[in-house]
């Protein structure tokens, strides 16, 4: 995309809706806590959306509902035209920890989702694709290395491959790099941006870092707690591709300040 387009669209996502949530609420029966109330959200093809908010704002509940791990109490959750009623292969997920299994090599870890869904033969057939993905994330030559020998950042790269191997329609990212040191985190965020652009991926990121949300996202969903709800959706109109240098520009600072203000507003903490 070019700068003009970015300006006219003000950085808004472009494609058709991929993931649609409407009036989604979640009340935990156990203690009657309202974790989510009336959340509406649309992820468009190729867009990058972040959700940010203090703890208890329901963002992990939202992510679990979107991953098909827990059902909503109310509302519609539709991915690619089909209601989400459980885990699906067109949902890719990544966690704070790389969670690679130490008894499997890097490639074996990456084809694990195929092994679980389609069996060992299919996993073997997917090995070639796993090699390509490792090449894309810059882990060429580490195919047959065990996770113990990978650094934190390398392990997260491998777990990106594992998420991508099933060619999911949406990537759900649960603070994927928060366990890394700051330098690695910045670098991995830029890598993530590049990979998402190359794969035309639709991504949804849960994060605690406003800077991280701003540098990566087209849209930032600001959530508030008690009950968990969407306070505002902030569009980020910085041009793509984003670079780390942009973090020093006044525009970047303005958006960060704005979101910080939104988060602080009416908070009793």
Partner 1 sequence: MTDLSNNSSSTTNTDMLEDTVWTQEIAFIDSVPRWIAMSFVAFVFIGTWWVVTAFGFVSPIILPTPAETLKDMIFVGKNLASGGYMLTALWITILEVIYGFALAIAIGFTLGVLVGETAFGEKAVMPYLVAIDTMPKVAFAPLFVAWLGFGIESKVALAAFIATFPIVVGTAAGLHAADENARMLFKTMGASRMQTLIKMKLPTGLPQIFTGLKIGAVGVMAGAITGEFLGGGKGFGELIRVAASQLNTPRVFSLILYLSLVGLALYLLVQFAQRKVVFWHKERVGSYDG
Residue 178 binds partner 1 (CB under 8 A): no
Distance, C-alpha 229 to centroid of its chain: 19
For residues 126 to 165, the per-residue mask of contacts with partner 1, x marking binding by CB under 8 A and - elsewhere, is --------------------x-x-----------------
φ, ψ dihedrals at 115, nearest 5°: -60, -45
Residue whose CB is less far from partner 1, 23 or 120 = 120
Q: How far is CA 127 from the centre of its chain?
A: 25
Q: What angle do CA 109, 120, 133 make, to 5 degrees?
A: 40
Q: Is the dihedral of CA 33, 62, 42, 52 positive or negative?
A: positive
CB 44, min distance to partner 1, A: 23
Q: Which is nearer to partner 1, 79 or 93 (CB)?
A: 93
User: Burial of 213 by CB count in 10 Å (0-12 exposed, 13-18 middle, 19+ buried)?
Assistant: buried
Nearer to partner 1, 98 or 214 (CB): 98
Structure tokens, 176? 């994927």
Judged by CB under 8 A, which of 36, 52, 57, 67 binds partner 1?
67
Q: Which of 43, 62, 112, 158 binds partner 1 (CB under 8 A)?
A: 112
User: Is residue 222 involved in binding partner 1 (CB under 8 A)?
Assistant: no
Q: Which is nearer to partner 1, 123 or 214 (CB)?
A: 123
Among positions 75-104, residues that touch partner 1 (CB under 8 A) are: 86-89, 91, 93, 95-97, 99, 101-103
Nearer to partner 1, 71 or 87 (CB): 87
Rg (CA), the chain: 19
Residue 261 as a binder of partner 1 (CB under 8 A): the answer is: no
Nearer to partner 1 (CB atom), residue 83 or residue 86:
86
User: Quick one: how far is CA 139 from the chain centroid?
Assistant: 21
- Residues in Cβ contact with 132 at an 8 Å cutoff, skipping those fewer than 6 apart: none
Strand partners, 219: 49, 235
Binding region for partner 1 (CB under 8 A): 67-69, 86-89, 91, 93, 95-97, 99, 101-103, 112-113, 115-117, 146, 148
């Amino acid at each position: 995309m070019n700068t003009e387009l970015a300006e006219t669209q003000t950085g808004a996502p472009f494609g058709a809706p991929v993931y649609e949530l409407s009036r989604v609420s979640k009340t935990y029966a156990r203690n009657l806590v309202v974790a989510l109330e009336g959340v509406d959200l649309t992820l468009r093809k190729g867009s990058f959306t972040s959700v940010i908010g203090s703890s208890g704002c329901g963002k992990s509940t939202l992510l679990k509902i979107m991953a098909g791990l827990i059902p909503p109490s109310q509302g519609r959750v539709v991915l690619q035209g089909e209601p989400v009623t459980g885990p699906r292969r067109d949902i890719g997920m990544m966690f704070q920890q790389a969670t690679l299994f130490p008894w499997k090599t890097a490639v074996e870890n990456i084809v694990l989702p195929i092994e679980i869904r389609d069996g060992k033969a299919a996993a073997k057939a997917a090995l070639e694709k796993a090699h390509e993905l490792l090449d894309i994330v810059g882990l060429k030559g580490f195919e047959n290395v065990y996770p113990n020998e990978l650094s934190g950042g390398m392990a997260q790269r491998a777990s990106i491959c594992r998420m991508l191997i099933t060619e999911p329609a949406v990537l759900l990212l649960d603070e994927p790099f928060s366990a890394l040191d700051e330098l690695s985190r910045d670098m991995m965020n830029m890598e993530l941006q590049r990979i998402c652009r190359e794969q035309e991926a639709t991504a949804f990121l849960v994060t605690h870092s406003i800077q991280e949300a701003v540098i990566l996202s087209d849209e930032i969903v600001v959530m508030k707690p008690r009950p968990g709800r969407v306070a505002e959706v902030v569009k980020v109109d910085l041009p793509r591709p984003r670079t780390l240098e942009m973090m020093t520009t006044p525009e970047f600072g303005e958006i960060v300040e704005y979101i910080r203000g939104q988060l602080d507003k009416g908070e009793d903490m």
